[in-house]
Structure 1
Amino acid sequence: MTAAAPAALAIQVDGLTKSFGELAVLRGVDLSVRAGSICALLGSNGAGKTTLVRILATLLRADSGSAMVHGWDVQAGAADVRRAISLTGQFAAVDEVLTGRENLVLVARLRHLKQPGVIADQLLARFALTDAGGRRAGTYSGGMRRRLDIAMSLIGDPPVVFLDEPTTGLDPQARAEVWQIVSELASGGTTVLLTTQYLEEAERLATQIAILHEGRIIQQGTLAELTQLLPAATVEYVEKRPSLEDIFLALVGNTGKEDR
């Protein structure tokens, strides 16, 4: 089996359904994600975001409909899909007993890559974790652990990355660090499907937005296209004050240094 020729769409979903017993979670999802874009999948708790991601990552099987990821059918070409993707869940999947470097080396070896130590060192440097690379991951802060988790998911340079609520539970500074990483991924040509409940996160990062509600995509497009769905705004003079997050980051600073 060979993959389809590289297309403008990295993810194509048509009529996807999934139920758990009597509970219908996905009720005919249609979604198109352009290659090299950041697509924010928005939805409240229970909307089906994680279920959709798990199907696209071949961890669940849909009841009906079809889905293609990087030219491969998620059912017929599941093994090829797995080689083309990485998945970072809501909770960092690092081994807390191992050091940061050992976590990276382990994943590189599992992917049968050459020079796993070199790969680990490059990623530690890229994610500002070099000084902490010899420490057990269990001693890392939440932001450091999340950076390590994302670094592990990028081993092998997968063209499609799924990030399932990657900034849940992080403080504003750590969240900003993750946002920077995600932006850099897309700048390098990686397609990112990001599930989030934070609307500001979607506004900051996404080149396209899809809104999942009661098991269906009720709207998708760019932020500008979605904004046009509402009546035109009236212009009023409002004195804008800095947000608490603006104040926090200004006082703390975003130095890029590792947490201790």
Structure 2
Amino acid sequence: MIDAHGLRKTFTTRGRRGAIQTVEAVRGVDLAVETGEIFGVLGPNGAGKTTTIRMLATLIAPDAGTATVAGHDLLTEPGRIRARLGYVSQAGGVEENTTPRAQIMMAARVHGLARASEATADVLDRFDLSEVADRPARTLSGGQRRRVAIALGLVHSPPLLFLDEPTTGLDPQNRANLWNRIRELRERGTSVLLSTHYLDEADALCDRLAIIDHGLVVAQGTPSELKREVSGDVVTLRVGDPEPAAEKLKPYARETRVDDEVLRVYVDDGERALPAMLRVLEEHGLGLTSISLERSTLDDVFLAKTGRSLRDTGAAA
């Protein structure tokens, strides 16, 4: 659905004293998004996520690089891309003094839908907005306004939807509700490109993701693959005699560490390794007091790839 190579974008601004400043927002991004998946772009504020999405949405032209989006060339067929694309910005694009129905109807007509009224009613129903469809948007909750924004991007049934920081500012209940809506889009066959700086959001929603920092992709893959690549899982055991236990469990481990009666075993896939490890301990009569399985996080991946925690940037949740 998206195949991008070497995308670059530099902005030139003028400082307070008139000095020209050059900012390399995107410095060579490669992305490959498959049909029918939720693909995440994870990174702190200012990493280049929004600039990358705006280039792929044909809203700004790249300085370098190539891409095909929804089967069309980014540089030579921007109009064809827009016809097959839904785009929801961070701001959302909802006009506060107009009703959701009127705004969505206008979007349907702009896209040339022959049955604009039916398409509007359908998308209002899909996003549970029918009861508030004729109220001014300023009277809606934050979660309802975000659902209106996504409905605006979906009224023409595009195969590809861009969501730029879709849950920023929402409370936990509305975030969870919107996550379910995004999953439903995937189930209907819509491909979703999602930018976020929330670790839990990327982990919960994305089939695959790219981690972007300072305008570069520093890691790409499924959340599970990325976490296993960096540190795998940690099985923590309390045993009476940890040294012999560590020796017996070495075939399952990347690494073992002993601290008093606590044995930490670093493994690639804790769920698969745990039953076999328990059998080995039982067979050799090594008494086990407690056991726990801890998974690495996407923040561990970000730390390994960039040298700092995403949480330290103030962006993650």
Whether the TM-score (by the shorter chain) exceeds 0.5 is yes
Match of 2:9 among 18, 32, 44: 18
Pairwise CA distance, 1:233: 2.7
Distance 1:169 1:77 in 2: 35
CA deviations 1:8-45 (Å, max 9, x no partner) are: xx111111111112211111111111111100100111
The residue type equivalent to 1:94 in the other structure is: V
The residue type equivalent to 1:151 in the other structure is: A
Distance 2:136 2:168 in 1: 22
Aligned: 1:155 with 2:155: yes
> TM-score normalized by structure 1?
0.85
Distance 2:69 2:51 in 1: 16
Pairwise CA distance, 1:116: 1.7
| 1:203 aligned residue | 203
Q: 1:54 to 1:232 in 2, by over 3 A?
A: closer
| 1:250 aligned residue | none
| 1:247 aligned residue | none
Distance 1:107 1:47 in 2: 31
The residue type equivalent to 1:99 in the other structure is: T
Per the alignment, in what secondary structure is the counterpart of residue 217 of structure 1?
strand
Pairwise CA distance, 1:230: 1.9
> In angstroms, what is the RMSD of aligned CA positions?
1.5
- Which moved further from structure 2: 97-106 or 152-161? 97-106
CA deviations 1:133-155 (Å, max 9, x no partner) are: 12111110100001111011101
Larger Rg: 2
Pairwise CA distance, 1:126: 1.1
Higher strand content, 1 or 2: 2
| 2:129 aligned residue | 129
The residue type equivalent to 1:190 in the other structure is: T
- Which moved further from structure 2: 16-25 or 164-173? 16-25
CA deviations 1:152-171 (Å, max 9, x no partner) are: 11011111110000000011
| 2:145 aligned residue | 145
Aligned residues: 231
| 1:219 aligned residue | 219
| 1:243 aligned residue | none
Higher helix content, 1 or 2: 2
| 1:99 aligned residue | 99
Distance 2:27 2:94 in 1: 34
Stretches of structure 1 that go unaligned for 5 or more consecutive residues are 1-9, 241-260
Per the alignment, in what secondary structure is the counterpart of residue 192 of structure 2?
strand
Counterparts in 2 of 1:222-237, with a 5 A limit?
222-236=222-236, 237=291
The residue type equivalent to 2:101 in the other structure is: R
- Identity of matched residues, %: 42
CA contact (8 A) 2:186 2:192 kept: yes
Higher relative contact order (CA 8 A, sep 6+): 1
Distance 1:161 1:99 in 2: 23
Pairwise CA distance, 1:59: 0.7
Pairwise CA distance, 1:130: 1.2
| 1:179 aligned residue | 179
The residue type equivalent to 1:16 in the other structure is: L
Per the alignment, in what secondary structure is the counterpart of residue 229 of structure 1?
helix
Pairwise CA distance, 1:239: 11
Q: 1:239 to 1:219 in 2, by over 3 A?
A: closer
| 1:52 aligned residue | 52
